[in-house]
Amino acid sequence: MDRLSDFTYTMESCNHCGQCKWILGPKMRGWKYAEICPIHQRWHYDAYSGQGLINIAEEVLNGELAYDDGLIDHIYRCTTCGACDVNCKSIRDMEVLETILALRAKCVEEGQGPLAPHKEYARCVEEEHNIYGEPHDRRFDWVQDGDPSAEGARVAYFVGCNGSYRHPEIARDTVSILSAAGLRFTLLGAGEYCCGAPLWRTGQIKAAEKQARHILGALNKLGIKTVVTSCAECYGAFRGFYPRIAPLGFEVRHISELVRDLLNEGRLKIARRLDVKATYHDPCLLGRLSEVYVPWNGKIGAYGRHDPPKEWRRGTYGVYDAPRMVLQEILGPRLAEMTRNEENSFCCGAGGGVADAFPDFALWTASERLDEAESTGAEAIVSCCPFCGSSFENAIGAGQRQMRYYDLTRLVKESMDGTKGGKE
């Protein structure tokens, strides 16, 4: 794992240009939806930005800044959405998000972090293998009509903690979709543990690595060649964290990618288009942070020249087209786009442990995103992440909004069989 000292070049090279706070000029449609960093948009101090956090990281690394009251709260208020990172990389090649994550890992290593709710993640995962502390033997209580696993299947559906315990309708809809396509797949059963993403993104690297090694072992034991997930958080962990531990011996696919291909192959059929005007929200870990992490070891020379050359994660090749293509099939011309989309998507507010440590800020961030969604004239906001779903549903309820939230799997299910459903 990278240490904070590995990002000295990034920390020393920041010239305070401010690109980490704004979407690129050609993407702007006005002042209102021009900012990209949730903490900067909320507090408007340089310290609350990618720039501010890497400046803090440098001072902590050099012993110039002590862990005084409020500093740990400040470090953990960031949603680790990565918007600062991809926008910085549009100007120059630096690792802003990796520096922030390494700073959190240093805080944990030195006994200063994480915050109490994040320590609770680790306790729950250690005892019950999920972040909610729910009984592990109830992880698959959402399964109806018998275990759908096919013996000897080389495709595994990895459900995730949120889908298993908080949004079982997503898991059931996903299984219905896979079954309707005639796809042979298996569930990991007792072998499925938390993917480790909430631990990784709060700096609890050793605990996250333990989870990852267990899951890799369980998948390899079954000879799995393709892992399907309906959770952006899990998808981002498989693509962005696991390659740091060991090369993946399998392909990782999000359900939106699989549905797109199954529709193109004629293995899935859309029975009817849905009469709803909606806009799509790109989850951070399915979008700009979903590119495969390629470990790099080398030297950084003058002007940031990396030897050997480094494969950068710029957010360009995130999963953007697949969910939109599926929604076009389901909604037709009734799909609207927000100004901040794809790699410039605005965070839902739930990431990086913020939803549990700073729920008021998470609610504010989700409300800002819903304002943007409503500005398109959409009646509903659609996404592919149960964490985004929880964040938006909380904000819709708190604001008594007419906006509705749908996970993509629910719309696919409704359009396939003609039924109307909702959150169960």
Tokens of 230: 């309906």
> b/e for 59-70, b at 16 or more Cβ within 10 A?
ebbeeeeeeeee
Cα Rg of the chain (Å, integer):
21
Quote the pLDDT of residue 424. Answer: 37
Helical (H) or strand (E) element with 226 = strand 226-229
Give dist(CA 384, CA 230) in Å, integer: 7
Cis peptide leading into 333, omega within 30 of 0?
A: no
Q: Spell out the per-residue pLDDT of the chain, length 424, in tens.
A: 589 999 999 999 999 999 999 998 888 988 899 999 999 999 999 999 999 999 999 999 999 999 988 999 999 999 999 999 999 999 999 999 999 999 999 999 999 999 999 999 999 999 999 999 999 999 999 999 899 999 999 999 999 999 999 999 999 999 999 999 999 999 999 999 999 999 999 999 999 999 999 999 999 999 999 999 999 999 999 999 999 999 999 999 999 999 999 999 999 999 999 999 999 999 999 999 999 999 999 999 998 999 999 999 999 999 999 999 999 999 998 999 999 999 999 999 999 999 999 999 999 999 999 999 999 999 999 999 999 999 999 999 999 999 999 999 999 999 997 544 434 3
Q: Is 43 exposed, middle or buried (0-12, 13-18, 19+ CB in 10 A)?
A: middle
- Please, are residues 232 and 254 in contact by the beta-carbon 8 Å criterion? yes
> How many residues in total does the chain contain?
424
- The strand ranges marked E within 109-225 are 155-158
Quote the pLDDT of residue 69. Answer: 84
- Please, are residues 372 and 346 in contact by the beta-carbon 8 Å criterion? yes
Question: How far from 232 is each of 281, 320, 335, CA to CA, in Å?
Answer: 12, 12, 21
φ, ψ (nearest 5 deg) of residue 157:
-95, 115
- The strand ranges marked E within 238-284 are 251-254, 278-280
- The strand ranges marked E within 284-362 are 299-300, 306-307, 335-336
Q: What are the residues whose beta carbons fall under 8 Å from the beta carbon of 77, sequence distance 6 or more? A: 39, 48, 354, 357, 358, 361
Phi-psi region of 378 (alpha: psi -120 to 50; beta: other; left: phi over 0): beta
> Could you tell me which of 345, 262, 326 has the C-alpha nearest to residue 81?
345
> Could you tell me which of 380, 280, 267 has the C-alpha nearest to residue 322?
280
- Please, are residues 22 and 33 in contact by the beta-carbon 8 Å criterion? no
Planar angle of CA 381, 385, 390, nearest 5 degrees: 70
The dihedral through the CA atoms of 238, 243, 248, 250 has a sign that is positive
Q: What are the residues whose beta carbons fall under 8 Å from the beta carbon of 7, sequence distance 6 or more? A: 54, 57, 95, 98, 99, 102
> b/e for 334-358, b at 16 or more Cβ within 10 A?
bbbebbbbbbbbbbbbbbbbbbbbb
Quote the pLDDT of residue 420. Answer: 46
> Could you tell me which of 334, 333, 288, 283 has the C-alpha nearest to residue 312?
288
